[in-house]
Amino acid sequence: MTSAALGTAWEISNGIVRGEIQDNRPERLKTIGQTDWSTRSCELYHRFLFAWAEQIQPSLVVETGTDRGYSGINLALGCASAKVISIDNRSLCSDQLAELDLPNVETITSDSLKMAERFQDHSVDLLFLDSHHTYEHLSKEIELYVPKVRRGGVVLVDDITMDEGMVKAWDSIVYPKRTFDGMHGTCGFGAFQV
């Protein structure tokens, strides 16, 4: 991936937010979660996850924070040849994603901080950090997981403006970074390049 990757990601995000990029995802993704008010507002960043996976064609995707599996399914269908590993400390969440029955997804029930050592250095093509939203946890995830990302890889982070702690963690990131406005309401969404 070239150093322009962050700019490309930002352009795709902007295109989605402005309505310039059409939603070409499978019908299944357009309807999933539509009856759930709390995920309707997340639709744009889920669309971005699909588009970014489709764009970079990763081999290995790691997500911390599975929840209902909506980000996982967008990543998995965005690039069907990728292996998507999603980690959540609640077994209910792992079960929910597993129930979506995607052949390229592996769910793990664990504290994300305990799982980083499972991955080889520079082996992860796409990392999405979206688990416990505190300064301490996000900072520790960055410390443990970023060495696992291959050089030039773009790391996506959700909820970066959610509260003071998340803002502090985001501000501490020393890599080139950009915020993607309008992707997740007022909670914020950002990316940095390793």
Ligand X SMILES: C[S@@+](CC[C@H](N)C(=O)[O-])C[C@H]1O[C@@H](n2cnc3c(N)ncnc32)[C@H](O)[C@@H]1O
CB 27 within 8 A of CB 77: no
Q: Which stretch binds ligand X (CB under 6 A): 8-16, 88-96, 98-106, 185-193?
A: 88-96
The residues near 138 (Cβ < 8 Å, ≥ 6 apart) are 129, 132, 157, 165, 166, 169, 170
Under the binding rule (CB under 6 A), the answer on residue 140 touching ligand X is: no
Q: Which of 112, 146, 156, 191 binds ligand X (CB under 6 A)?
A: 112
Q: Rounded to the nearest whole angstrom, what is the least distance from the CB of residue 65 to ligand X in the complex?
A: 3
Residues 47-76: b if buried by 16+ CB within 10 A, e if exposed: bbbbbbbbebebebbbbbbbbbbbbbbbbb
Under the binding rule (CB under 6 A), the answer on residue 96 touching ligand X is: no
Whole-number CA gyration radius for the chain: 15
Q: Which stretch binds ligand X (CB under 6 A): 23-31, 67-75, 119-127, 144-152?
A: 67-75
Under the binding rule (CB under 6 A), the answer on residue 13 touching ligand X is: no
Q: Which residues bind ligand X (CB under 6 A)?
A: 42, 64-68, 70-71, 87-90, 93, 111-112, 130-132
